[in-house]
């Protein structure tokens, strides 16, 4: 089993040694998932947030200057119909961390399940909530949930999120206890972060017992305290994707849009490094332009772009793996 020292050494590989790392990651992916990439359809449901993360333009301190929005339940069903028409059966709802999303999403889920005749994975990324809220959303039909810890360093976590790491970890444990397929992840390039810290984050994620894990290079965004901080290292992020695959071959590991925001071929290279998830954006134009996660000029993944990129890798698109229980054990 790889330890933090092993992972640190792998993260530092470059040249031919790194290409061999990527080859091994692709082989590990193929052994579990075959030559397939999971395609998700995401809609962003609100840019309002109660948290004051120093890296995010939608942080609480920016609320008054942002043009905010909050999607209603009926609109979520309409977007789900578009996602279904595109042949995608992973319906992903993402939004700022506010209590109101529990009701909005919960009320939409029965209609979405009916739309798909139950053959849909409902994936949520709505932040910290009370256990009773997670339980309600699970009863309504949610199957999976992403909650990134961002960094496993408690001091740095509190600095960048303005909340304790323990509060995040409690929510992750609640989600696992309730039977969700759980994703987490970290940011590469936060202030003061070293390669050994990135290694610690990856091993930490493995030891949590989650089903999905992402690594994203930091993107400096306007109107944030870290607006002038340098972007995260894409090359290090690509190595982290490959190492993630070796640490946990049955993880879903996305090639996130932040890779392409910094480097035009970033997501393609992420798939070639062992990732196996691409997310297509279905947020209506008006709301998407106000979802400022990386600023107004973020990279938005459309269906045709995703299809072409997957084809270039020689892989094939597929639907949810969590609708096939044999592939991943319930914790």
The half-sphere exposure of 250 on its side-chain side, counting CA atoms within 13 A, is 13
Predicted confidence at residue 192, as pLDDT, reads 96
Q: Mean per-residue pLDDT for 234-244?
A: 98
Per-residue pLDDT tens over the stretch 257-281 = 989 877 778 999 999 999 999 999 9
Residue-wise pLDDT tens digits, 28-73: 999 999 999 999 999 989 888 999 999 988 889 987 777 787 889 9
CB 172 within 8 A of CB 147: yes
**β-strands 316-318, 90-94 pairing:** unpaired
pLDDT at 68: 80
Q: How far apart are CA 20 and CA 10, in angstroms?
A: 11
**181: pLDDT strictly greater than 60:** yes
Dig out the tokens for 146 from the structure.
């992403």
DSSP 307: H
User: Is residue 294 scored above 80 in pLDDT?
Assistant: no
* pLDDT for the residue 16: 98
Q: What is the 3-state secondary structure (H, E, C) of 4-50?
A: HHHHHHHHCCCHHHHHHHHHHHHHHHHHHHCCEEEEEEEEECECCCC
Per-residue confidence (pLDDT) for residue 330, from 0 to 100: 32
Is residue 323's pLDDT more than 80?
yes
Distance, CA of 112 to CA of 181 (rounded, Å): 19
Let me know how long the chain is: 331
For the chain, give the percent of residues with pLDDT over 70: 94
d(CA 93, CA 76): 9
What average pLDDT does the structure give for the chain?
Answer: 93
Contact status, residue 234 vs residue 217, Cβ threshold 8 Å: yes
Average pLDDT over residues 293-320: 87
pLDDT at 293: 64
Our CA dihedral for 133, 137, 139, 141, rounded to 10 degrees, sits at: -170
Number of C-beta neighbours around residue 151 at 10 A: 24
pLDDT tens-digit profile of 302-312? 999 999 999 99
Question: How many helices (H) and strands (E) would you count in the chain?
Answer: 13, 8
Q: What is the mean pLDDT of residues 194-208?
A: 98
Residue scoring higher pLDDT (232 or 285): 232
For the chain, the first-to-last Cα distance in angstroms comes to 20
Distance CA 186, CA 217 (A): 9
Question: Does residue 73 contact residue 312 with C-beta atoms inside 8 Å?
Answer: no
pTM of the model: 0.94
Condensed to tens digits (0 to 9), the pLDDT of residues 86-133 reads 999 999 999 989 999 999 999 999 999 999 999 999 999 999 999 999
* pLDDT the model gives residue 331: 29
Give me the percent of the chain exceeding a pLDDT of 90.
Answer: 81
Residue 145 has pLDDT above 80, yes or no: yes
Q: Give the Cα separation of 178 and 321 in Å (integer).
A: 19
Residue 326's pLDDT is 40
Coil, helix or strand at residue 95: coil
Q: What CA–CA distance (Å, rounded) separates 147 from 313?
A: 28
Element (H, E) at 123: strand 121-125
Q: Are strands 277-281 and 144-146 parallel, antiparallel or unpaired?
A: unpaired
């Amino acid at each position: 089993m790889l330890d933090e020292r092993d992972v640190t050494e792998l993260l530092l590989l470059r040249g031919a040694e790194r290409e061999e790392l990527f080859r091994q990651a692709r082989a590990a992916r193929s052994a579990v998932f075959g030559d397939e990439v999971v395609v998700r359809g995401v809609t962003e449901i609100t840019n309002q947030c109660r948290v004051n993360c120093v890296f995010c333009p939608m942080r609480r301190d920016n609320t008054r200057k942002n043009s905010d929005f909050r999607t209603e339940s009926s609109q979520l069903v309409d977007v789900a119909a578009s996602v279904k028409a595109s042949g995608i059966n992973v319906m992903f709802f993402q939004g700022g961390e506010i209590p109101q999303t529990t009701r909005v999403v919960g009320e939409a889920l029965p209609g979405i399940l009916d739309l798909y005749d139950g053959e849909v994975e409902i994936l949520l990324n709505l932040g910290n909530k009370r256990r009773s809220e997670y339980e309600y959303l699970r009863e309504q039909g949610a199957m999976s949930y992403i909650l990134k810890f961002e960094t496993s360093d408690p001091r740095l976590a509190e600095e960048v999120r303005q909340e304790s790491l323990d509060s995040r970890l409690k929510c992750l444990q609640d989600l696992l206890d309730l039977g969700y397929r759980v994703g987490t992840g970290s940011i590469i390039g936060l202030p003061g972060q070293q390669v050994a810290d990135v290694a610690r984050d990856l091993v930490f994620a493995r030891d949590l017992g989650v089903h999905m894990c992402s690594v994203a290079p930091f993107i400096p965004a306007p109107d944030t305290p870290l607006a002038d901080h340098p972007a995260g290292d894409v090359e290090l992020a690509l190595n982290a994707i490959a190492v993630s695959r070796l640490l946990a071959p049955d993880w879903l590991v996305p090639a996130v849009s932040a890779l392409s925001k910094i480097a035009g071929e970033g997501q393609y290279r992420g798939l070639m490094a062992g990732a196996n998830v691409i997310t297509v954006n279905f947020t209506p134009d008006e709301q998407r332009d106000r979802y400022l996660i990386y600023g107004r000029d973020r990279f938005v993944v459309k269906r045709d772009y995703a299809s072409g990129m997957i084809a270039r890798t020689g892989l094939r698109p597929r639907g949810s793996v969590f609708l096939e229980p044999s592939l991943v054990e319930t914790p």
